[in-house]
Structure 1
Amino acid sequence: MSTTIKGPAIFLAQFTGDQAPFDSWEAITRWAGGLGYEGVQLPSGDKRLFDLALAAESKTYCDEIAGVARANGVAITELSTHLQGQLVAVHPAYDEAFDGFAPPELRGRPAARQEWAVQQMLLGAKASANLGLTASISFSGSLAWPYLYPWPQRPPGLIETAFDELARRWRPILDAYDAAGVDLAFELHPGEDLFDGATFEMLLERVDNHPRLAIAYDPSHFLLQQLDYLAFIDRYHERIKVMHVKDAEFRPDARQGVYSGYQSWQDRAGRFRSLGDGQVDFKAIFSKFAQYDFKGWAVLEWECCLKHPEQGAAEGVAFIRDHIIRVTDKAFDDFAGSGADPQRNLRMLGLSRSHDE
């Protein structure tokens, strides 16, 4: 029997802050549950909400965290390790920019920062298992991104070397997630070396089709790249384990296109929008996920340069709920069925001898 997508759920990363109700686990889960969400995706690096190291070693702590969420009407959908995953692989051009993702004592020390990031990912595997989760979401990091556009001409082997190194770094982490029984789903995102299907396949091949290497599907990034986000589901549905429901729009003009001329988010040809305000065909997406029996959660990720996040969150509940397809357990023409009869089937095909022969 097919599975109805779980949800609506919400990714908490864009909402956490120092003001109530966004400053504690109890308060933010009560806020999410009060809006009507049934699940929350938990950013594992925000200590206002969660202690990753403690969760990796203490099942009791994880039970308490899950219990608080449950009392407020929500389940934990996945742990997010986006920021830690980013630091597993950083090109030196981005060292200072990404230093903000690391603890202060590691800033300016890229080797130590990378080692810390790997340990964070390993803790994420154990914590996910202690929480009873089956998938986690992260970023791949990037070594080749500065060379995205082939000018000047890339020297032979440059990209291959980058992906060989990416695989070397991620393979032991993937093995740890396998041991924990958790899929590691990378959000395919510009700025990461894994940003589309082709780059995902490049890593997948280098880790020997590792069973835990998975995809976090977010159509907004694909629309801005002008990628066929529906055919993507057809091709990769077996590897898609996490779903972000996020809208976007792409409106090129005489001044700018995909690259958007270094403009601010509000002035870009391609920009993220709150659910329903952009161009993503969510009816078709939810149909695809129902068709392929997706067993995960529909998780809102709010990123909009125009609408206030609390308005986007409030509107997103109904939007997701209205798009979730309750999958059918019967065929629409069952009423016209006449039951199974193998001999009749043979007669209808002319394969059964008549009584006169």
Structure 2
Amino acid sequence: MSVLGEDDDLEVQTGKKRIRPALLAAFCTVLLLLCCGGGVVAFFLDAARNTQNYDAGCGNGQLVDAAAKMPSHHELSEEQVRNAAIIVRVGQDMNVPPRGWVIAVATAMQESSLHNLPDLGARNDHDSLGLFQQRPSTGWGTPAQIMDPQYASRKFYERLLTVPGWERMSLTQAAQRVQRSAYPNAYAKHEQLASTVVNSLTGGAARAAGDSTKLQCVSGDQIAASGWTAPVNGEVGSGFRTASRPTHQGVDLIVPRGTPIRAAAGGLVVKVRCQAHLANGTDWGCWRDGSPSVLGCGWYVEIQHANGLLTRYCHMVKQPSVVLGQHVAPGQEIGFSGTTGHSSGPHLHFEVHINSDPSNNGAIDPVPFMQRMGAPLGVKA
């Protein structure tokens, strides 16, 4: 099985220009790091610290008490967490699904850093106020109303609920349909921290599906409130870096040939290619099945997500359904399972990489990661 980056000497065609994948991946990584303020590593440390109390659940079904003691978060003050609690509680009272809570909290993180901002004078963006930087002049309410976090949260949810299909949109798409921001791609970088905060306030509801009164753990092709979903429903065959395959950088999910493969989360397609060759360098191609003697991923796709995350999907049966540079929503079909490249039978080889980790190309075990995202792998089709 190939590891991420082993074919960086090969070029990818995009329009009339050819871009080396290594340069493209590096550009995407640098861009994301700049957007995140260099806090990618801090985020994952924070997420690890704040998952221990609710990893086992998918939401306790209890209403959030914004006046109670708030859970601690490495990157957020008590005031910021309390404002997030108000946003979540309003969503609960309105029976908005948990996905909406994550979108709302992430939006407030981008707009105000979860501070209830008053008029900042010369530093104000027009007449924007409050947690969501809503503007009285564009119909959000009076200044006094917008400065009430409960009112501001309710107005955000009211507009979100009018957006057709918002539950299956990427966070950026859904938030932008409500906010009309000048920086529409900025929301995505807050998605996982927002999920962590929602989880800590609700006993794990960011990993759940359903409305606020009927939370249940995600199964099948459902999208968790965190915005993640399993790419296929199949048992785990070969695991991550096992004793017999120490360089195996992902997991093999056993599914029949032709099973639809879904994007595990929203993101940008940064690689679509066929990689199948013999040990002597002879091209094998992806128009036929591979075998254990063939090297490479066969037909495969890589998707860049927020916070420096990247997912890879290998051994597709035919050319993928997506193209380089395409933005995909969570759960969007990107191709079909097969056995092209280095493969002994139909399955999906699935990898997760943290690009900020310089060791081993940042590959991490997808099983515990997807469990934390509320989209567990290993479910039999």
Please give the range of the TM-score, normalised by the shorter of the 2 chains: under 0.3
More helix by share: 1
TM-score (norm 1): 0.25
Bigger CA radius of gyration: 1
